[in-house]
Chain A
């Protein structure tokens, strides 16, 4: 399987995993390890100033040497997202940002004008921008042309587990942009991840599909295999589809039987 390269950084795993909504820190840790992912997303939130913040998730992630990708989840305006990205850069010492600018809290669909505005500002600020976006080829092309290091169209709404709802748009996006295309959100189970990879997507970012599974560690292992299988199948090149049958055993050399049924 070929490596994934984003902004000159090579990754052997094509699975990117979120660190949220796990039942407990140990399950998170075991799941992230089982997923084989190298890149893990984190959020930026107000520190709890009145007491401890609970277990120090960050130290677990650092101990395991994950490449941390902070996000701007929960931002509704370009201004909020830009400030959050700058705080993330200061907190984690990385200029990589998963850019999310949300339109409303029911669909969590991106607000495209605000997303484009935030991306432009962050690129001027020397960030490596990975935007979570609609599965719209024009928006993806604009983000790519602007200089984003990847585009991350949604497969289905965040946390919905509805799978790849618009495979045809994803294929068009893959053909239209030169940067990696990462399906972000919507994957519910292993076959969804494999489908994304078979469509030629460069990677899949998921969180709930693993953390909300009945057995997250087991699902993380399943996702790892699905991503690998899907990518391998894409690289192998599938057979053409045919409407009618085409025998796989040779037709020549068949035996002849005389007479009819008894």
Chain B
């Protein structure tokens, strides 16, 4: 299925949010990251069960330097 991840279109067979994040070496224990699917924040405890659908827009963010 086709997903848009951080603005880039990606073709993937991944079905849950946690397996998608594993592809980017991200796990639920990592601090400072968060995910929104179609503008809704998906909390860490939902990552394992959250099913992705074709055309979902996913934003994966990190806390970084800022003023």
Residues of chain A having any CB pair with chain B under 8 Å:
18-22, 28, 41-49, 53, 57-58, 62, 68, 70-71, 73, 79, 83, 86-92, 158-159, 207-208
**What is the distance, in angstroms, from B27's C-beta to the closest C-beta of chain A?**
13
Judge whether B24 and A83 touch: CB under 8 Å: no
A159 to chain B minimum Cβ distance, whole angstroms, is 8
B31-55: CB near A (< 8 Å → 1, else 0) gives: 1111110010101100000000000
B65, A43: Cβ atoms closer than 8 Å: yes
A158: chain B residues at CB < 8 Å are 67
* Contact status B65-A21, CB under 8 Å: yes
Of the listed residues A43, A47, A71, A90, the one surrounded by the most CB atoms of chain B closer than 10 A to its CB is A47
Q: A49-B24, A90-B43 are in contact. Are A68 and B63 (CB under 8 A)?
A: yes
B34 neighbours in A (Cβ, 8 Å): 44, 87-88, 90-91
> A87, B67: Cβ atoms under 8 Å?
no
Q: Which residues from B are CB-within-8-Å of A48?
A: 62
- With A88-B34, A91-B33 as contacts: A83 and B41 at CB distance below 8 Å: yes
B61 pairs with A42, CB closer than 8 A: no
A53 to B33: give the CA distance in the assembly, Å: 12
A91-B32, A91-B34 given as contacts; is B65 within 8 A of A57 (CB)? yes
Knowing A49-B5, A49-B6 are in contact, say whether A87-B65 is a contact too (CB < 8 A): no
Distance of A21 Cα from B63 Cα, bound (Å)? 15
Q: Tell me the minimal C-beta distance from A188 to chain B in angstroms.
A: 14
Indicate which residue in A28, A86, A91 contacts B63 across the interface (CB closer than 8 Å).
A91
Q: Is B60 in contact with chain A by the CB < 8 A criterion?
A: yes
* Nearest neighbor of A57 in chain B, beta-carbon distance: B65
Interface 1/0 per residue, B1-45 and A, CB below 8 Å: 000011100000000000000001010000111111001010110
Could you list 5 examples of A-B contacts with CB < 8 Å?
A: A18-B66, A20-B65, A20-B66, A49-B24, A90-B41
A19 to B1, CA, bound (A): 39
Closest chain-B Cβ to A55's Cβ sits at a distance in Å of 10
Complex-state Cα separation, A48 to B26, whole angstroms = 11
Residues in A neighbouring B62, C-beta threshold 8 A: 44-48, 53, 58, 91
B32 and A71 contacting across the interface, CB-CB below 8 Å? no
- Is there an interface contact between A42 and B63, defined as CB atoms closer than 8 Å? yes
Docked Cα-Cα span, A128 to B44, in Å, equals 22
Contact in complex: B65, A71 (CB < 8 Å): no
Contact check, A90 vs B66: say whether CB atoms are below 8 A apart: no
CA distance A53 to B24 in the complex (A): 12
Q: Are B61 and A44 in contact (CB under 8 A)?
A: yes
